[in-house]
A = this chain, B = another copy of it.
């Protein structure tokens, strides 16, 4: 258990949690991509995989700027969300469109976890006056927001409509 003696320590604690979350994601996203059928969804997951690798490097940059080792701390939140995604996606689906819809639901849970966690870390960095660090975290936050919007668009425009048409 850490001893949180300052806002700086609390920020580092949050960053270590995020590093673990991102590292778990780099393992989970290829599985999601493999399960996806819709081309646009597959491409969106692949693009987010590349982005996630970039976000890990950006987090390492943040640790360096704070003069701290980039050490991850187990993140039970992301662990649970990925476990849930696996469960949802491995159900028996009547068609691929329905599985794609379930994948989108799982991916949006992942995105929103990250939006919450990066938002908290960014606010702490701002309060500490670490503008450069806040900017790096904001960059990732913007990317997560964009991915979430792309997924909502996919859910509305492609995947689920096919599923409705096939089964109503």
A residues with CB within 8 A of B? 1-8, 10, 13-14, 17, 75-81, 83-84, 87-88, 90-94, 98-99, 101-102, 104-105, 108-109, 111-113, 115-117, 119-120, 123-124, 127-128, 148, 152, 155-156, 160-161, 163-164, 167-168
Nearest first, the 3 closest Cβ-Cβ pairs linking A and B are A80-B80, A112-B116, A112-B112
- Chain B: which residue is nearest A5 at the CB level? B94
Contact of A152 among B3, B101, B108, B123 (CB under 8 A): B123
- Report the separation of the CA atoms of residues A5 and B3 in the bound assembly, to the nearest whole angstrom: 50
7 of the cross-chain contacts (CB-CB < 8 Å) are A4-B102, A77-B77, A77-B83, A77-B109, A108-B116, A108-B119, A108-B120
| A109: chain B residues within 8 A (beta carbon) | 77, 113, 116-117
Counting every copy of the chain, the complex holds: 2
Known contacts A3-B92, A7-B163, A111 near B101 by CB under 8 Å: no
Contact of A120 among B2, B115, B155, B163 (CB under 8 A): B155
